[in-house]
């Protein structure tokens, strides 16, 4: 971990061994669900998917450092693992991907993983990149005005870092010392455009200095490092000390979406090195090294995740699609009428 | 009851709503110590404090994006866009985001936010302090758009906007701010969004209009009365949802319609009003649906001569009324 402005907070505890295994279990479940969704896409059942494969450790460890009972989460389209970590059931997510009537996020109005979570304060209004960042500043402003100690975590990618909204949001959050954690999952590609065509600097985290708050770069495959960095950011935010920008370096193991082909723009060498940066492998090896996970336990985690996804797929596949009538719900428009 | 200008009505209404409800906050450029460039927030930072009256950086997208975030987290923000011409950087947060919150979350979230937008010309504002920007918002499902033209309507519709559970654009015509005065009751009241009002009853034709043009149309109707033409003037007041019933009722009764607007005519409010009349009043019409609007050039020249030529006036409205009456 490299802190660009602040030193790491030494008072932050690592997650317990038991919690680390649980985080790994969530990562594996996310991976199988993610793979299943791509399969469902190839079967013509899921219209579109963006993968979190490669991002799992960063997302799960970030969420672990927060308090879902009071914190807010503004996500983007790749937040598979964060959503599972926030107690979203595989069935609920599959309902979104298959556009089923009971999709809890948007009742099949929006792309998968978009809309609002019915239980946790997690929402993702839009496909337009970086719009969630000013919104996150506003959510945090509302908490600050009421003296609440909730933290707002806003997820975005390296692509979003180029948007004007990102600058405006960080500027505003810095001025008002808002309790926001800006969590950037830097996978080095904005669809096909590599970092060196997105920015003239090495690290997105360094930008935090221009807004007056700390920026931290972490290895996004390291759940301990991400947890520690996020915990420090959350602690700062709750203490009224303002925002933190965390840049978690991750690998995007699959193309941008099911409609993309990354062999058109990633070199053979780049693609060949990807498995080395697979967080499932890295976290599994780390847990083994620390004697927190045996081979048979690891296998059981994989088998159980596979089975969980199979069960969820069967359930959701058999569920109905929404009827035409419900497309008018929550509007003033009479079905098939005009306002 | 006291006589107020439109801008005084804006200020007093926001003040009343902020006193009524602690969740109402006000964000915008120069709204703190300066009191707003039009003095819409004169004295607010002293009364409500800098935490509720937030001087923002000069960045319209985040003014609206922050307001949206605060709105979905329990506040009722009022965002002031200093001039309508500067709203374009915020379009994504308004049209792209805020309008779709309730629909896109299947009602789990909603955005009770008000965006106040001083708009319109006749103030020597040139191309970037004169624009009429209503069409894009009025086109967008999920938004409401009001354009109150009198101090009385401003209070009632602005209060409705602030109390609405969904985003409302409040268009405030800059030329009316100090030009138009009227009685405003001190008691609390609201005017429902979506209701037009007949500002002058008449029998020979209907003039449908809104904003500054309402006042010019009323002057023109007086001129017409002197010529024996009895003109009804219908003030739309709300542009979305547009009050199709009131339009159809009036036009069906008078049989003739002139639609007057300050915005350029292609794909505009007058286009929509024309379509409504075509659909609903066809067999009651005694003449063609007519429109009076500026030419299709970028609004509007800084030159006072060209500005005056660009905008409809009571004289050009009167001429259009006379011409339609002769058909």
pLDDT tens digits, B4-47: 999 999 999 999 999 999 999 999 999 999 999 999 999 999 99
In 3D space, the residue among A124, A67, A111 whose CA is nearest the CA of residue B72 turns out to be: A124
From chain A, the residues in CB contact with B72 under 8 A are 123, 135, 138-139
From chain B, the residues in CB contact with A139 under 8 A are 69-70, 72-73
CB contact under 8 A, B104 and A333: no
Average pLDDT over residues A167-193: 97
From chain B, the residues in CB contact with A70 under 8 A are none
Exposure class string for B222-236: b at 16+ Cβ within 10 A, else e: ebbeeeebebbbbbb
Mean pLDDT, rounded, of chain B: 97
Cβ atoms of residues B106 and A96 within 8 Å: no
Average pLDDT over residues A16-28: 97
Which pLDDT score is estimated for A11? 77
Cβ atoms of residues B260 and B207 within 8 Å: yes
From chain B, the residues in CB contact with A72 under 8 A are 73
Instruction: State how far the Cα of A161 lies from the Cα of A138, in Å rounded to an integer.
Output: 18
Q: Which two tokens stand for residue A299?
A: 């296998």
Which pLDDT score is estimated for B97? 98
SS3 per residue for A144-175: HHCCCCCCEEEEEECHHHHCHHHHHHHHHHHH
With respect to residue A105, please indicate whether it lies within any of the assigned structural domains.
yes
CB-nearest to A165 from B51, B62, B103 is B62
Question: Whole domain around residue A299: which residue ranges?
Answer: 2-314
With respect to residue A327, please indicate whether it lies within any of the assigned structural domains.
no
Provide the 3-class DSSP secondary structure of residue B233: strand
Which pLDDT score is estimated for B96? 97
In 3D space, the residue among A77, A325, A224, A339 whose CA is nearest the CA of residue B143 turns out to be: A339
Partner A contacted by B168 (CB < 8 A):
no
Partner B contacted by A243 (CB < 8 A):
no
Q: Cis omega (within 30 of 0) on the bond before A55?
A: no
Which pLDDT score is estimated for A263? 95
Its sign, for the CA torsion B293, B299, B300, B306, is negative
Each residue of A281-315: pLDDT tens digit? 999 999 999 999 999 999 999 999 999 999 999 99
Query: For the domain with range B2-184, which CATH number is right: 3.30.460.80, 3.40.50.2300, 3.40.50.970, 1.20.81.30?
Result: 3.40.50.970
Alpha-carbon separation of residue B241 from A84, A250, B97, B139 (angstroms): 40, 47, 19, 10
DSSP string for A187-208: -SEETTEEGGGT-SSS-GGGGG
Partner B contacted by A134 (CB < 8 A):
yes
Identify the band that residue A13 occupies on the pLDDT scale cut at 50, 70 and 90: confident
Alpha-carbon separation of residue A115 from A89, A219, A293, B100, B164 (angstroms): 16, 29, 36, 10, 21
Percent of chain B at pLDDT exceeding 90: 99
Shortest distance between the Cα of B83 and any Cα of chain A, in A, equals 19
Q: Is pLDDT at A5 greater than 70 in this prediction?
A: no
Shortest distance between the Cα of B237 and any Cα of chain A, in A, equals 16
Q: Mutate one of A135, A149, A328 to test the B interface: name it (highest B CB count within 10 A).
A: A135
CB-nearest to A171 from B57, B104, B109 is B57
Partner A contacted by B55 (CB < 8 A):
no
Cα B247 versus chain centre, distance: 17
With respect to residue A319, please indicate whether it lies within any of the assigned structural domains.
no
With respect to residue A17, please indicate whether it lies within any of the assigned structural domains.
yes
Identify the band that residue B171 occupies on the pLDDT scale cut at 50, 70 and 90: very high
Each residue of A140-164: pLDDT tens digit? 999 999 999 999 999 999 999 999 9
Which pLDDT score is estimated for A9? 61
Cβ atoms of residues B281 and B273 within 8 Å: no
Partner A contacted by B92 (CB < 8 A):
yes
Average pLDDT over residues B223-232: 98
Q: Using the structure block, give the residue that is written with the tokens 């967080």.
A: A279
Each residue of B106-115: pLDDT tens digit? 999 999 999 9
Query: A4 vs B108, which has greater pLDDT?
Result: B108
From chain B, the residues in CB contact with A329 under 8 A are 106-107
Comparing B2-184 with B197-326, is the CATH topology the same?
A: yes
Q: Mutate one of B73, B76, B98, B166 to test the A interface: name it (highest A CB count within 10 A).
A: B73
Cβ atoms of residues B35 and B67 within 8 Å: no
Query: For the domain with range B197-326, which CATH number is right: 1.10.10.10, 1.20.1250.20, 3.30.540.10, 3.40.50.920?
Result: 3.40.50.920
For A121, half-sphere exposure in the C-beta direction (CA atoms, 13 angstrom radius) is 19
From chain A, the residues in CB contact with B241 under 8 A are 332, 339
Q: Is pLDDT at A2 greater than 50 in this prediction?
A: no
Instruction: State how far the Cα of A287 lies from the Cα of A295, in Å rounded to an integer.
Output: 10
The count of domains in chain A is: 1
Each residue of B172-221: pLDDT tens digit? 999 999 999 999 999 999 999 999 999 999 999 999 999 999 999 999 99
Q: Is pLDDT at B134 greater than 50 in this prediction?
A: yes
Provide the 3-class DSSP secondary structure of residue A326: helix
CATH number for the domain including A288? 3.40.50.970
How many other C-beta atoms can be found within 10 angstroms of the C-beta atom of residue A261? 10
Q: Mutate one of A71, A108, A142, A337 to test the B interface: name it (highest B CB count within 10 A).
A: A142
Partner A contacted by B25 (CB < 8 A):
yes
Which pLDDT score is estimated for B75? 98
CB contact under 8 A, B68 and A164: no
Concerning whether B129 is annotated as a catalytic residue, the answer is yes
End-to-end CA distance of chain A: 56
From chain B, the residues in CB contact with A142 under 8 A are 69-70, 73-75
DSSP string for B29-51: TT-STT--TT-TTTTHHHHH-TT
CB contact under 8 A, B70 and A133: no
CB contact under 8 A, A138 and B69: yes
Which pLDDT score is estimated for A333? 80
Cβ atoms of residues B202 and B231 within 8 Å: yes
Which pLDDT score is estimated for B71? 98
End-to-end CA distance of chain B: 43
Which pLDDT score is estimated for B85? 97
Cα B107 versus chain centre, distance: 27
CB contact under 8 A, B106 and A329: yes
Total-model pTM: 0.96
Q: What are the strands of the beta sheet with B205-209, ordered from one edge?
A: B197-200, B231-235, B205-209, B257-260, B290-292
In chain B, residues 118-157 whose CB comes closer than 8 Å to chain A: 141-142
CA angle B210, B214, B220 (to 5 degrees): 140
Average pLDDT over residues B286-306: 97
CB-nearest to B104 from A110, A139, A141 is A110
Which helix (H) or strand (E) segment holds residue B73: the answer is none
Instruction: State how far the Cα of A251 lies from the Cα of A80, in Å rounded to an integer.
Output: 15
Instruction: State how far the Cα of B233 lies from the Cα of B259, in Å rounded to an integer.
Output: 10
Cβ atoms of residues B117 and B90 within 8 Å: no
Mean pLDDT, rounded, of chain A: 94
Q: Provide the β-strand partners of residue B76.
A: B24
CB-nearest to B51 from A123, A134, A145 is A145
Q: Which two tokens stand for residue B236?
A: 């739309």
Shortest distance between the Cα of B59 and any Cα of chain A, in A, equals 7
Inter-helix orientation angle A56-64/A279-289, to 10°: 60
Cα B160 versus chain centre, distance: 13
Shortest distance between the Cα of B112 and any Cα of chain A, in A, equals 13
Neighbour-count burial of B295, counting CB atoms closer than 10 A to its CB (0-12 exposed, 13-18 middle, 19+ buried): exposed
Partner B contacted by A170 (CB < 8 A):
no
- Which one from A265, A288, A302, A308 is the annotated catalytic residue? A265
**Which sequence spans correspond to the domains of chain B?**
2-184, 197-326
Which pLDDT score is estimated for A7? 54
With respect to residue A121, please indicate whether it lies within any of the assigned structural domains.
yes
In 3D space, the residue among A143, A90, A42 whose CA is nearest the CA of residue A311 turns out to be: A90
Percent of chain A at pLDDT exceeding 70: 96
Q: Is pLDDT at A210 greater than 80 in this prediction?
A: yes
Q: Is pLDDT at A8 greater than 90 in this prediction?
A: no
CB-nearest to B104 from A114, A133, A146 is A114
Look at strands A122-124 and A115-116 and give their pairing. Answer: antiparallel
Percent of chain B at pLDDT exceeding 70: 100
Shortest distance between the Cα of B284 and any Cα of chain A, in A, equals 22
Which pLDDT score is estimated for A3? 45
């Amino acid at each position: 971990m490299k802190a660009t402005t602040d030193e790491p907070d030494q008072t932050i505890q690592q997650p317990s061994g038991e919690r680390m295994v649980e985080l790994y279990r969530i990562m594996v479940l996310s991976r199988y669900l993610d793979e299943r969704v791509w399969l469902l896409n190839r079967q013509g059942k899921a219209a579109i998917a963006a993968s979190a494969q490669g991002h799992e450790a960063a997302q799960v460890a970030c969420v672990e450092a927060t308090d879902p009972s009071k914190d807010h989460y503004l996500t983007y389209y790749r937040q598979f693992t964060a959503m599972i970590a926030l107690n979203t059931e595989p069935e609920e997510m599959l309902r979104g991907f298959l556009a089923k009537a009971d999709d809890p996020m948007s009742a099949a109005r929006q792309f998968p993983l978009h809309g609002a979570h019915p239980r946790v304060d997690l929402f993702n209004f839009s496909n337009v990149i970086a719009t969630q960042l000013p919104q996150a500043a506003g959510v945090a402003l509302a908490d600050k005005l009421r003296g609440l100690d909730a933290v707002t975590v806003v997820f975005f990618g390296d692509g979003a870092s180029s948007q004007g909204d990102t600058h405006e949001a960080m500027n505003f959050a810095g001025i008002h010392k808002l309790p926001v954690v800006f969590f950037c999952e830097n996978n080095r590609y904005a669809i096909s455009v590599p970092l060196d065509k997105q920015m003239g600097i090495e690290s997105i985290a360094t930008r935090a200095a221009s807004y007056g708050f700390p920026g931290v770069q972490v290895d996004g495959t390291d759940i301990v490092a991400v947890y520690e960095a996020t915990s420090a950011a959350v602690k700062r935010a709750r203490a009224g000390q303002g925002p933190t920008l965390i840049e978690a370096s991750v690998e995007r193991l699959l193309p941008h979406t099911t409609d993309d082909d990354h062999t058109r723009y990633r070199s053979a060498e780049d693609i060949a090195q990807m498995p080395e940066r697979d967080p499932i492998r890295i976290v599994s090896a780390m847990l083994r090294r620390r004697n927190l996970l045996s081979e048979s336990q690891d296998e059981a985690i994989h088998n159980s995740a596979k089975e969980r996804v199979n069960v969820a797929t069967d359930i959701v596949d058999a569920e109905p699609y929404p009827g035409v009538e419900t497309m008018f719900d929550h509007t003033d428009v009479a079905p098939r009428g005009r306002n | 009851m006291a006589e107020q200008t439109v801008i005084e009505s804006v200020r007093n209404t926001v003040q009343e709503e902020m006193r009524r409800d602690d969740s109402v906050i006000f964000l915008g450029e120069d709204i703190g110590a300066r009191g707003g460039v039009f003095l819409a927030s004169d004295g607010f930072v002293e009364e409500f404090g800098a935490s509720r009256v937030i001087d923002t950086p000069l960045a319209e997208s985040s003014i609206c994006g922050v307001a949206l975030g605060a709105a979905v987290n329990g506040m009722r923000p009022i965002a002031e866009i200093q001039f309508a011409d500067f709203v374009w950087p915020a379009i994504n947060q308004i049209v792209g985001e805020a309008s779709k919150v309730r629909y896109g979350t299947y009602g789990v979230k909603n955005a009770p936010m008000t965006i106040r937008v001083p708009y319109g010309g006749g103030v020597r504002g040139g191309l970037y302090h004169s624009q009429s920007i209503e069409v894009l918002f009025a086109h967008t499902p999920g938004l409401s758009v009001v354009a109150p033209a009198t101090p009385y309507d401003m209070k009632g519709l602005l209060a409705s906007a602030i109390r609405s559970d969904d985003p409302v654009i409040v268009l405030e015509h800059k030329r009316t701010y100090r030009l138009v005065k009227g009685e405003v009751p001190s008691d609390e009241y609201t005017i429902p969004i979506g209701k037009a009002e007949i500002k002058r009853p008449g029998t020979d034709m209907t003039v449908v209009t809104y904003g500054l043009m309402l006042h010019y149309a009323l002057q023109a109707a007086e001129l017409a009365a002197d010529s024996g033409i009895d003109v009804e003037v219908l003030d739309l007041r709300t542009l979305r949802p547009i009050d199709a019933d009131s339009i159809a009722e009036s036009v069906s009764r008078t049989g003739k319609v002139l639609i007057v607007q300050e915005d350029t005519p292609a794909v505009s409010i007058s286009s929509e009003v024309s379509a409504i009349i075509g659909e609903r009043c066809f067999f009651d019409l005694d003449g063609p649906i007519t429109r009076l609007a500026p030419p299709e050039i970028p609004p509007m020249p800084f030159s006072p001569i060209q500005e005056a030529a660009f905008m409809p006036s009571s004289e050009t409205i009167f001429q259009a009324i006379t011409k339609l009456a002769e058909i």
